[in-house]
Amino acid sequence: MPMKIGNERFGERVEKGINNSFMRGAVAGAQDNIGARRLNAIEELGNWEEWRSHGEEIRQHVLEHLDYYLEQLSDNVAKRGGNVFFAETAEEANEYIKEVVQSKNAQKVVKSKSMVTEEINLNASLEEVGCQVIETDLGEYILQVDDHDPPSHIVAPALHKNKEQVRDVFTKKLGYKKSADPTELAWHAREMLRQDYLTADVGITGCNFAVAETGSFALVTNEGNADLVTSLPKTQITVMGMERLVPTFEELEVLVSMLTRSAVGQKLPSYVTVLTGPREELDVDGPEDFHLVIVDNGRSKILGTEFQSVLQCIRCAACVNACPVYRHVGGHSYGSIYSGPIGAVLSPLLGGYEDYKELPYASTLCGACSEVCPVKIPLHELLHKHRQVIVEKEGKAPVSEKLLMKAFGLGAASPTLYKWGSKIAPTAMNPFTSEDKITKGPGPLKAWTEVRDFPAPNKERFRDWFKNREKGGGTSWPEPSKTEKHF
Amino acid sequence: MAGAIQNREAFLNNIANNLGRDRLTTPVNRPTWKHNPQDEVLKGASQDDLVQVLTDHCEKIHTTVINTTKSNLGSTLNGAVQNYGGGPVVTWKDDRFAEWGLKELFTNEWAKQEIDYHEWDFNSASTNINYAEKANIGITISEYTLAESATVVMLSSKDHGRTVNFLPKTYIALVPKSSIVPRMTQAAKKLRERHLNGKSLPACINFISGPSNSADIELQLVVGVHGPFKATYIIIDDL
Amino acid sequence: MKVTLFATCLVDMFQSDVGKATVELLERLGCEIDFPQTQVCCGQPAYNSGYVKESKDAMKKMIGTFEHAEYIVCPSGSCAYMFHEYQHVFKGDPIWEPKAKKLAAKTYELTQFIIEVLKVENVGACLEGKATYHTSCHMTRLLGVQKAPMTLLSKVKGLEFVELPGKEQCCGFGGTFSVKMAQISEQMVDEKVRHVEETDAEYVIGADAGCLMNIGGRINRQGKPIKVMHIAEILNSR
């Protein structure tokens, strides 16, 4: 699946999301549940802000010295007998991986969860050459069995599906005969996948973090699927976004701790696996042949720009879990495999404004995302910067809005115009006003009043009240003003 | 044999270019980080405190903890194996088993109990994985044990098959009390020192915290997805 | 103490009662209030929509208007934060950046001012009833004012306080978001209203006219018997 999912327009996607009541219940439940666990996991540390500063400093240092650390990483991988391929584009990455797979005459590939391979649409490219590609993360597996339903969450990809839907998919596609109990479903997947691990020719993984100093890389799972993917097939290919690395083991452990606490509120997940090169000479398990593919695919364009900090991301999805917009529209509304605030910042950068120009506006700039980000990416500020680019450089803002804002610029900056405008407001709004409120507004107010009342402008503006009061001389209480109307 | 590196120069030049500078040619030293909060966790805790922290956390990750002494290890392990329903059992090949007096148990005692047993043997490659795949119990030894997250750390080698940790239905990790450290920080430092001292890192380091699990269906926890359904840590008082 | 009031356009045009309550409250606490008639909008609606150039003139006008002030007090966390944001907007500008920094240093949200500068916790307010409080995002997260309103409300005689479930969630206002992304905004405000209802409170209180107009507008449309009030009105009740 490429980064872009579906061809519907943004409004249609949102409409669909809003009307999917199971999905919304599941998302709200997940946000509340994971959010509480995250809070618990960071509060028990007692100094989370220090951790965040540390995480931020590490990530910034790596980005500033990225060429150096990537060189060091690739040297060390090669020293341990691994092959490294630098891929500028998705196509280059896919071509290389295809070549490796074909050179092994591989029929079957098992994969552990990886966002970057989704981004470059690797599965489709391998399927084209007749390879069977099997996702082994339970969530990804469910989506794959269900005719490649796209993921709706970075960490919990099948969050939008309920267990009955999973059962129906398994029944239809896998001949499953048991109940909708998650344990029975998961154990069925276990049985199916166990055979696949044992018979696969190639294992493909993503990379949570690579370690430059040792040429190692770390995989983080609770299921243990990445471990079987990397121990049983003879060939292993690891695909990493070029920014996902740390200098040494010391930084690795800090970021892994922060990743799992932020993602699911765990101190550590069941499995953190650090792999260095292919198996050693006399080892019995692990791959004989190891390939690391380092993918740019638009990332380098972000370096050196005002958006650079988005590359600090460690894909924990804490921002997704805190976002009040994601909560109501779900992941598919974003039209990208990267959803939520991080998706709204990253998708236009990697995929262009044409497809993703609405995403930066799908935020109230409430700042919940920036607050939870473990590496202090100022996500809401980056969303705001996108808006600025869309207005000023891309010229993609609607004409009516531009005119309105131009008028705003003139009006708001001129006390005379402002005063005149606010003074005539009650009269201008008179035709729309009843009982101190507007229930069917004109122009931009229409969208507002379809859902809510809008207050009628005060007959006496505050500034006039104040002026008159000053003329009347001094303070006018002891009795506080009675509130005449409420919001 | 060293692996191949392809397309590197153009790729890295482009990065440097976008960062608005020339390629970095001299070694970059890590800065002195302004904060090191990881060093503060469980600082100054005694070995017994750490055992307690580990034990408490095991409860949260569905893992059984048994404390024993070196002299009782045989009977403790035998009990744990029986508790998980007996064989087939697969273990690493490791001299420490003999040091801890387990040879008798592995060979004679289990034979008597008709518990099938296999010791990892790099000379017969495919037998190991086939056996591990059918095994009921895998037994390995923790190199470092992280109290905070109740994590055992497994280092692979020709005698330490990585799949012993994953393929069997249940999992028993032997944890020398002396291996327990506050958290991942200390293990990471030791592994880094090992690398800097010129001793190569194992191809696979597994940080394992309890049995395999997933919450991918309606966020309901399922224990035992791709790896073991159950896990036990046996802490051996070796101090 | 002389206080210069930044009333905000919403208060000026739509919620003059909030402005009145703010003036009376501060006067009762011993402040002398000054309201420069040249004040306009802080520029936030255009700025947040990405029209940074268009909003700069308004910002400069506001910096000029409040240059003389000793303390600037604003009954809106979001607009008060906007004054703090100016310094980032004018970053690198030799004339306006220092001015914007000075502006930020003396700008306070109302409850923040009462607690941090006046150092008063009990303003002598009194209101019978059950109330809940909506923590607005900009005030809490961007301006960093969290405790002040709670401290002040806890001292209001007769007021029974219930915490709002999901209080950290945005109400769906977001300025132009509320009309630009109306269908999403509707879902957000609906959940907020549901949470308010769960508390059984008679009053839902807030410190930002924007959020209150959003929540209040939805509550009124649904005809629910919940009063939506600005914290200045509560603190001015006797």
- What is the three-state SS of chain A? CECECCCCCHHHHHHHHHCCHHHHHHHHHHHHHHHHHHHHHHHCCCCHHHHHHHHHHHHHHHHHCHHHHHHHHHHHHHHCCCEEEEECCHHHHHHHHHHHHHHCCCCEEEECCCHHHHHECHHHHHHHCCCEEEECCHHHHHHHHCCCCCCCCCCCCCCCCCHHHHHHHHHHHHCCCCCCCHHHHHHHHHHHHHHHHHHCCEEEECCCEEECCCCEEEEEECCCHHHHHHHCCCEEEEEEECCCEECCHHHHHHHHHHHHHHHHCCCCCCEEEEEECCCCCCCCCCCCEEEEEEECCCCCCCCCCCCHHHHHCCCCCHHHHHCHHHHHHCHHHHCECCCHHHHHHHHHHHHCHHHHCCHHHCCCCCCHHHHHCCCCCCHHHHHHHHHHHHHHHHCCCCHHHHHHHHHHHHHHHCHHHHHHHHHHHHHHHHHHEECCEECCCCCCHHHHHCCCCEECCCCCCHHHHHHHHHHHCCCCCCCCCCCCCCC
Tens digits of residue pLDDT in A218-261:
999 999 999 999 999 999 999 999 999 999 999 999 999 999 99
- Chain A contact for C35, CB < 8 A? yes
Residue A62, in any domain of the structure: yes
User: Are the beta carbons of B218 and A182 separated by less than 8 Å?
Assistant: yes
Residue A129, in any domain of the structure: yes
Determine contact, residues C37/A467, Cβ cutoff 8 Å.
yes
- Chain C contact for A14, CB < 8 A? yes
**Confidence category of residue A199, pLDDT binned at 50, 70, 90:** very high
Inter-chain CB pairs, A–B, below 8 Å: 309
Tens digits of residue pLDDT in B196-215:
999 999 999 999 999 999 99
Tens digits of residue pLDDT in A43-70:
999 999 999 999 999 999 999 999 999 9
Residue A4, in any domain of the structure: no
pLDDT for A397: 76
What does R_g of chain B's alpha carbons equal in angstroms?
A: 21
User: Are the beta carbons of B212 and A271 separated by less than 8 Å?
Assistant: yes
Pairing mode, if any, of strands C126-133 and C203-206? parallel
Say how far apart CA C59 and CA C162 lie, in whole Å. Answer: 38
Q: How many CB atoms lie within 10 A of CB B193?
A: 11
Quick one: A79 and A223 in the same domain? yes
- DSSP letter (8 states) at residue B169: S
Residue A373, in any domain of the structure: no
Q: Which CATH superfamily is domain B48-237 in?
A: NagB/RpiA/CoA transferase-like (3.40.50.10420)
Which residue of chain A comes nearest to C89, CA vs CA? Answer: A385
Q: Which of A245, A266, A295 is the last residue of a domain?
A: A295
Tens digits of residue pLDDT in A266-287:
999 999 999 999 999 999 999 9
Beta strands in chain C (DSSP E): 2-5, 32-34, 71-74, 107-109, 126-133, 157-162, 203-206, 227-230
**Rounded to 5 degrees, what are φ and ψ at B42?**
55, 30
User: Are the beta carbons of A463 and C35 separated by less than 8 Å?
Assistant: yes
User: Is the Cα dihedral A436, A441, A444, A447 positive or negative?
Assistant: positive
Least confident of A110-124, A421-435, C47-61: A421-435
Q: For chain C, how many residues are written?
A: 238
Say how far apart CA A429 and CA A376 lie, in whole Å. Answer: 44
Cα angle value A77/A79/A80 (rounded, 5°): 65
Q: Choose the mutation target among A64, A160, A285, A291 for the interface with B, i.e. most B CBs under 10 Å.
A: A285
pLDDT for A486: 65
Contacts of A472 (CB under 8 A, 6+ apart): none
Say how far apart CA C121 and CA B185 lie, in whole Å. Answer: 45
Residue A214, in any domain of the structure: yes
Which residue of chain A comes nearest to B227, CA vs CA? Answer: A224
User: Are the beta carbons of A366 and C50 separated by less than 8 Å?
Assistant: no
Which residue of chain B comes nearest to A22, CA vs CA? Answer: B218
pLDDT above 80: residue A436: no
Query: Which residues of chain B are within 8 Å of residue A160 when distances are taken between CB atoms?
Result: none
CB burial string A390-400: b at 16+ within 10 A, e below: bbeebeebeee
Determine contact, residues A336/A343, Cβ cutoff 8 Å.
yes
For residue B224, what are its two tokens?
């035992």
Which residue of chain B comes nearest to A57, CA vs CA? Answer: B33
**Confidence category of residue A480, pLDDT binned at 50, 70, 90:** low
pLDDT for B142: 98
Residue type at position A400:
S
pLDDT for B74: 95
Query: Which residues of chain A are within 8 Å of residue B166 when distances are taken between CB atoms?
Result: 224, 227-228, 231
Tens digits of residue pLDDT in A290-302:
999 999 999 999 9
User: Are the beta carbons of A371 and C141 separated by less than 8 Å?
Assistant: yes
Q: Which of C11, C174, C221 sits opposite A366 (nearest CB)?
A: C174
Say how far apart CA C99 and CA C96 lie, in whole Å. Answer: 5
Q: Which of A295, A323, A354 is the last residue of a domain?
A: A295
Determine contact, residues A275/A217, Cβ cutoff 8 Å.
yes
- Chain A contact for C170, CB < 8 A? yes
Domains observed in chain C: 2-116 (3.40.50), 126-235 (3.40.50.1860)
Query: Which residues of chain A are within 8 Å of residue C142 when distances are taken between CB atoms?
Result: 367
pLDDT for A232: 95
Give the domain range for residue A433.
419-472
Query: Which residues of chain A are within 8 Å of residue B195 when distances are taken between CB atoms?
Result: 213-214, 249
Total domains present in chain A: 2
Say how far apart CA A151 and CA A227 lie, in whole Å. Answer: 22
User: Are the beta carbons of B188 and A65 separated by less than 8 Å?
Assistant: no
**Confidence category of residue A483, pLDDT binned at 50, 70, 90:** low
- Chain A contact for C130, CB < 8 A? no
Say how far apart CA C129 and CA C159 lie, in whole Å. Answer: 5
Query: Which residues of chain A are within 8 Å of residue C78 when distances are taken between CB atoms?
Result: none
pLDDT above 90: residue A450: no
Determine contact, residues B192/A249, Cβ cutoff 8 Å.
yes
Helix (H, G, I), strand (E, B) or coil at C110: helix
The residue ranges of chain B whose pLDDT is under 70 are none
Task: Report, as an integer, the average pLDDT of A149-158.
Answer: 87
User: Are the beta carbons of B28 and A224 separated by less than 8 Å?
Assistant: no
Pairing mode, if any, of strands B144-146 and B151-155? antiparallel
Q: How many CB atoms lie within 10 A of CB B14?
A: 17
Say how far apart CA B18 and CA B20 lie, in whole Å. Answer: 5
- DSSP letter (8 states) at residue B7: S
State ipTM.
0.97
Q: Which of B203, B218, B224 sits opposite A283 (nearest CB)?
A: B203
User: Is the Cα dihedral C177, C183, C187, C192 positive or negative?
Assistant: positive
Cα angle value A151/A156/A158 (rounded, 5°): 50
Task: List chains adjacent to chain B, taking adjacency as at least 3 C-beta pairs closer than 8 Å.
Answer: A
- Chain C contact for A325, CB < 8 A? yes
Determine contact, residues C88/C53, Cβ cutoff 8 Å.
no
Which residue of chain B comes nearest to A297, CA vs CA? Answer: B11
CB-side exposure of C184: number of CA atoms within 13 Å? 31
- Chain C contact for A195, CB < 8 A? no
Q: Do at least 3 CB pairs under 8 Å connect B with A?
A: yes
Residue A285, in any domain of the structure: yes
Which residue of chain A comes nearest to B164, CA vs CA? Answer: A285
Q: Tell me the C-alpha to C-alpha distance, in Å, between residue A113 and each of A205, A441, B178.
A: 7, 49, 36
User: Are the beta carbons of B6 and A66 separated by less than 8 Å?
Assistant: no
pLDDT above 60: residue A478: no
Residue A377, in any domain of the structure: no
Indicate the helix (H) or strand (E) that contains B51.
Answer: helix B47-60
* CATH number reported for the structural domain that contains residue A101 in this entry: 3.40.50.10420
Residue A15, in any domain of the structure: no
Query: Which residues of chain B are within 8 Å of residue A225 when distances are taken between CB atoms?
Result: 225-226
User: Is the Cα dihedral B179, B180, B182, B188 positive or negative?
Assistant: positive
**Confidence category of residue A481, pLDDT binned at 50, 70, 90:** low
Q: How far is CA A54 from the centre of its chain?
A: 22
Residue type at position A282:
L
pLDDT above 80: residue A449: yes
Q: Which of A259, A275, A295 is the last residue of a domain?
A: A295
Say how far apart CA A221 and CA A352 lie, in whole Å. Answer: 31
**Rounded to 5 degrees, what are φ and ψ at A124?**
-60, -40
